[in-house]
Amino acid sequence: MREQETARELAREFSLLLSPELHSLRLGPRGADGRQKQNIAWIIGHSYVRWAAKRACDRPYGLHLGMAHKDWRIEWMGKPGMHWDQLLPLMRQLKNLRAPPDVVIMHLGGNDLRSVTCKRLIRMVKCDIAEILHLYPGAVICWSDIIPRPKWKESKLWGRGRKKLNRQIGSWIQKIGGHQIRHQWADDMSPGLFRPDGIHLSDIGYDIFNITLQDVIEAQHR
């Protein structure tokens, strides 16, 4: 009962989006040998993830990014305003609630760059990812680069921090067997890719974002 309550709380807090038949709880379908039949990818992050999931639901490729027929299940966990220090507690809670993922994509850090020094944030990211790998051995960890935000285009501090964080964590994540997901398509901050608020992506932007994630996930089991 307590696990069910925790699952419901997480679903509300993180806009946890799963297939309806998997929304209640835990480990998903298994084969006759007891092993998980599907590959599972978690996409975790701030409002970009929440809006990307909603966009996916409205598009032909759907919540599983067009890969359900390839035995991929995508689980989205997006919380508006999410900060990096909220990730590890979430991953600890999910340990007993969900089937272990094959791929974990993290799109976080952009909301921290104005309140935490880049040096400290890099230290936090490396430390937390090390624990996540211990919690989920065998999972492929993917760092999704922080996307530039037109609203903060004139902030040299945020811009330099974003580039440094992407560069250092991206390089490090590849050395430990993970992947860096680059979003060069957003580097020129074309107005058509962003909403008028200068922070969130437009529908077209989220389509490109989702296709980029799809390519990375699909590549894991080719």
Q: How far apart are CA 52 and CA 74, in angstroms?
A: 12
What residue numbers bound the domain in which 192 lies? 2-20+37-219
**110: domain CATH number?**
3.40.50.1110
> Which residue in 164, 86, 152 sits closest to 114, CA to CA?
152
Segment 36-58 shows an average pLDDT of 92
In a domain, 31, yes or no: no
In a domain, 25, yes or no: no
- Per-residue pLDDT tens over the stretch 9-40: 665 666 665 544 444 334 444 444 444 568 99
Whether residue 48 has pLDDT greater than 50: yes
- Per-residue pLDDT tens over the stretch 61-107: 999 999 998 999 999 999 999 999 999 999 999 998 889 999 999 99
- Number of domains within the chain: 1
**Residue 191 vs residues 49, 181, 199: alpha-carbon distances, Å:** 20, 22, 11
Question: Of all helices (H) and strands (E), which one includes residue 170?
Answer: helix 156-175
In a domain, 187, yes or no: yes
Q: How far apart are CA 213 and CA 108, in angstroms?
A: 14
3-state SS assignment for residue 40: strand
In a domain, 157, yes or no: yes
In a domain, 143, yes or no: yes
In a domain, 145, yes or no: yes
In a domain, 12, yes or no: yes
Rounded to two decimals, the pTM is: 0.88
The answer to whether the CB of 103 falls within 8 A of the CB of 140 is yes
- In which region does residue 15 sit, left (phi positive, over 0), alpha (psi from -120 to 50) or beta (all else)? left
How many Cβ atoms are within 10 Å of 49's Cβ, its own excluded? 28
Lowest mean pLDDT, pick from 18-27, 43-52, 140-149: 18-27
In a domain, 98, yes or no: yes
